[in-house]
Amino acid sequence: MNEDRFDTREDLEVIDLRDIWRIIKKGKWILISLPLIAMITSGIISFFVLTPRYEASTTLMVGKTYSGQDAMMLQYNDILTANQLVKTYSQIAKSRTVVEKVMDSEKIDTTYESLSQSINIVPVKDTQLIQITVQHINPQRAARLANVTATVFIGKVTEIMKVDNVNIIDHAVVPSAPVKPNKKLNIVIAGVVGFMLALGIVFLLEFLDRTIKTGDDVQRHLELPVLGVIPKIE
């Protein structure tokens, strides 16, 4: 009895897999066309509609500059203090005073909120480094704003903290390629989403379709033998 029950379960599993394959095969045109349409649409939007944005970064180091014998006297406390200052200085770099001074220096006709969203200040974890990153539709402008922001920020730190302990390690250079939009990634994501949507539509249509069209449908749903089939006549 146990063997018969096991065989029945195995047969049901095989039938289910065959039904899934039958449904997929039945809706193959939807599964092909919908992802293809989604990918073409995403490609058109990515290449011709979305405005490319370029990114440029400059890196600064917080801490005193040592040379000669002074470098040998560098203490652990100095490094620890610099690491703590990185967090404070990052907030100063994000301040309205710095951003508005950059706007005045570059004669940018925009709002503080708009420009601050394009400037990202990130302290590099467990280091004395701060990275200033700027995104802009113009690559030259992105590099220029990153360097100007770094210069204004250093001046503001000197003014507030009364100490000159921030140095530029790497100046921003003009980016050669945009970071947004990621055209290939957008097309791939559109294809995957389109396929998942198409798969859902195919199974939904099969679930809503209660009609019997073939002899296999008669055997599967009504469990009746098919005695004959009338061919389609034009």
The predicted-structure confidence for 73-100, as pLDDT tens digits, reads as follows 455 556 666 667 888 888 888 899 999 9
Sheet holding 166-170, edge to edge: 119-123, 129-136, 54-62, 166-170
Q: Does pLDDT of 9 surpass 80?
A: no
Summarised one tens digit per residue, pLDDT across range 17-59 is 777 888 888 899 999 999 999 999 999 999 999 999 999 999 9
Q: What is the pTM of this model?
A: 0.70
Distance CA 54, CA 118 (A): 10
**Per-residue pLDDT reduced to its tens digit, 136-183:** 999 999 999 999 999 999 999 889 888 788 899 999 999 999 999 999
Predicted confidence at residue 6, as pLDDT, reads 42
Residue 230 pLDDT: 72
Cis check: omega of the bond before 35, within 30 degrees of 0: no
In what helix (H) or strand (E) does residue 201 lie, and over which residues does it extend? helix 183-208
Reduced to 3 DSSP states, what percent helix, strand and coil does the chain have, rounded to the nearest 5?
60, 10, 25
**CA gap 145, 153 in Å, rounded:** 12
Q: Which long-range contacts (CB under 8 A, 24 or more apart) does 220-226 make?
A: 220/19
Give the pLDDT of residue 67.
Answer: 52
Mean pLDDT to the nearest integer, 65-72: 50
Portions of the chain given CATH number 3.30.70.1130: 51-170
Where does 137-218 show beta strands of DSSP type E?
Answer: 166-170
Query: Class of 51-170 per CATH?
Result: alpha beta
**In the block, which residue shows the tokens 């708009």?**
114
**For helices 2-26 and 28-44, angle between their N-to-C axes, nearest 10 degrees:** 50
Per-residue model confidence as pLDDT tens digits over 184-217: 999 999 999 999 999 999 999 888 877 776 667 6
